Amino acid sequence: MMTNKTLHAILIYFIAAVWIANGLFCKVLNLVPRHQEIVARILGEEYSGILVKVIGVSEILMAVWILSKVKSRLNASAQIIIILTMNIIEFAIASDLLLWGKTNIIFALLFIVVIFYNEFVLNKKLNQQT
Protein backbone atom coordinates (compact mmCIF):
# COMPACT_ATOMS: atom_id res chain seq x y z
CA MET A 1 0.00 0.00 0.00
CA MET A 2 1.32 3.43 -0.98
CA THR A 3 1.79 5.91 1.84
CA ASN A 4 0.71 9.55 1.67
CA LYS A 5 4.38 10.55 1.80
CA THR A 6 5.21 8.37 -1.23
CA LEU A 7 2.20 9.60 -3.19
CA HIS A 8 3.10 13.21 -2.38
CA ALA A 9 6.67 12.67 -3.62
CA ILE A 10 5.47 10.98 -6.82
CA LEU A 11 3.03 13.82 -7.52
CA ILE A 12 5.75 16.44 -6.96
CA TYR A 13 7.92 14.74 -9.58
CA PHE A 14 4.97 14.30 -11.95
CA ILE A 15 3.93 17.96 -11.69
CA ALA A 16 7.52 19.15 -12.16
CA ALA A 17 7.91 16.81 -15.16
CA VAL A 18 4.86 18.35 -16.84
CA TRP A 19 6.38 21.85 -16.46
CA ILE A 20 9.80 20.67 -17.71
CA ALA A 21 8.30 18.83 -20.71
CA ASN A 22 6.21 21.82 -21.73
CA GLY A 23 8.96 24.35 -21.05
CA LEU A 24 12.04 22.59 -22.37
CA PHE A 25 10.81 20.30 -25.10
CA CYS A 26 7.73 22.11 -26.40
CA LYS A 27 8.95 25.70 -26.10
CA VAL A 28 12.72 26.14 -25.62
CA LEU A 29 13.67 23.36 -28.06
CA ASN A 30 10.58 24.14 -30.21
CA LEU A 31 9.74 20.47 -30.69
CA VAL A 32 6.07 21.47 -30.79
CA PRO A 33 5.88 24.53 -33.10
CA ARG A 34 2.17 24.88 -32.32
CA HIS A 35 3.19 26.62 -29.07
CA GLN A 36 4.85 29.43 -30.99
CA GLU A 37 1.75 29.73 -33.18
CA ILE A 38 -0.39 30.09 -30.05
CA VAL A 39 1.92 32.78 -28.63
CA ALA A 40 1.95 34.55 -32.00
CA ARG A 41 -1.83 34.60 -32.13
CA ILE A 42 -2.15 35.94 -28.58
CA LEU A 43 0.84 38.29 -28.30
CA GLY A 44 1.71 38.99 -31.94
CA GLU A 45 3.96 37.49 -34.56
CA GLU A 46 6.94 39.86 -34.25
CA TYR A 47 8.37 38.62 -30.95
CA SER A 48 6.66 35.24 -30.67
CA GLY A 49 9.92 33.30 -31.13
CA ILE A 50 11.69 34.93 -28.21
CA LEU A 51 8.52 35.11 -26.09
CA VAL A 52 7.86 31.38 -26.40
CA LYS A 53 11.45 30.71 -25.27
CA VAL A 54 11.05 33.07 -22.29
CA ILE A 55 7.81 31.31 -21.37
CA GLY A 56 9.59 27.96 -21.71
CA VAL A 57 12.45 29.02 -19.44
CA SER A 58 9.87 30.31 -16.94
CA GLU A 59 8.19 26.90 -16.99
CA ILE A 60 11.52 25.20 -16.33
CA LEU A 61 12.10 27.58 -13.41
CA MET A 62 8.63 26.67 -12.11
CA ALA A 63 9.71 23.01 -12.10
CA VAL A 64 12.86 23.91 -10.15
CA TRP A 65 10.72 25.82 -7.64
CA ILE A 66 8.38 22.82 -7.30
CA LEU A 67 11.29 20.46 -6.68
CA SER A 68 12.83 22.85 -4.15
CA LYS A 69 9.65 22.67 -2.00
CA VAL A 70 10.27 26.28 -0.95
CA LYS A 71 7.01 28.11 -0.17
CA SER A 72 5.06 25.20 -1.63
CA ARG A 73 1.63 26.72 -0.92
CA LEU A 74 2.56 29.92 -2.76
CA ASN A 75 3.99 27.79 -5.54
CA ALA A 76 0.83 25.70 -5.89
CA SER A 77 -1.32 28.84 -5.85
CA ALA A 78 0.87 30.43 -8.53
CA GLN A 79 0.63 27.30 -10.68
CA ILE A 80 -3.14 27.22 -10.41
CA ILE A 81 -3.49 30.90 -11.31
CA ILE A 82 -1.05 30.60 -14.23
CA ILE A 83 -2.68 27.46 -15.63
CA LEU A 84 -6.18 28.93 -15.33
CA THR A 85 -5.19 32.25 -16.89
CA MET A 86 -3.22 30.67 -19.72
CA ASN A 87 -5.95 28.17 -20.56
CA ILE A 88 -8.80 30.68 -20.46
CA ILE A 89 -6.87 32.97 -22.85
CA GLU A 90 -5.99 30.04 -25.15
CA PHE A 91 -9.60 28.80 -25.04
CA ALA A 92 -10.88 32.22 -26.08
CA ILE A 93 -8.26 33.14 -28.68
CA ALA A 94 -6.48 30.04 -29.99
CA SER A 95 -8.56 26.94 -29.23
CA ASP A 96 -8.14 25.71 -32.81
CA LEU A 97 -4.37 25.43 -32.21
CA LEU A 98 -4.64 23.45 -28.97
CA LEU A 99 -3.88 19.73 -28.96
CA TRP A 100 -7.43 18.83 -27.89
CA GLY A 101 -9.15 22.02 -29.03
CA LYS A 102 -11.68 23.44 -26.59
CA THR A 103 -11.58 20.24 -24.52
CA ASN A 104 -7.97 21.11 -23.65
CA ILE A 105 -9.37 23.08 -20.72
CA ILE A 106 -10.63 19.82 -19.16
CA PHE A 107 -7.07 18.49 -18.99
CA ALA A 108 -5.91 21.80 -17.53
CA LEU A 109 -8.58 21.56 -14.85
CA LEU A 110 -7.58 17.98 -14.05
CA PHE A 111 -3.96 19.10 -13.68
CA ILE A 112 -5.12 21.90 -11.35
CA VAL A 113 -7.00 19.33 -9.24
CA VAL A 114 -3.81 17.24 -8.95
CA ILE A 115 -1.79 20.31 -7.90
CA PHE A 116 -4.47 21.38 -5.40
CA TYR A 117 -4.84 17.89 -3.93
CA ASN A 118 -1.09 17.37 -3.64
CA GLU A 119 -0.46 20.64 -1.81
CA PHE A 120 -3.62 21.57 0.05
CA VAL A 121 -4.88 18.10 0.99
CA LEU A 122 -2.02 15.60 0.94
CA ASN A 123 0.79 17.91 2.07
CA LYS A 124 -1.47 19.37 4.77
CA LYS A 125 -2.04 15.86 6.14
CA LEU A 126 1.69 15.17 6.12
CA ASN A 127 2.46 18.42 7.92
CA GLN A 128 -0.15 17.64 10.59
CA GLN A 129 1.44 14.25 11.23
CA THR A 130 4.84 15.72 12.07
Give residue-wise pLDDT tens across range 90-114.
999 999 999 999 999 999 999 999 9
Q: What percentage of the chain reaches a pLDDT higher than 90?
A: 95
Distance (Å, whole) CA 90 – CA 72: 26
Q: What residue spans define the domains of the chain?
A: 4-124
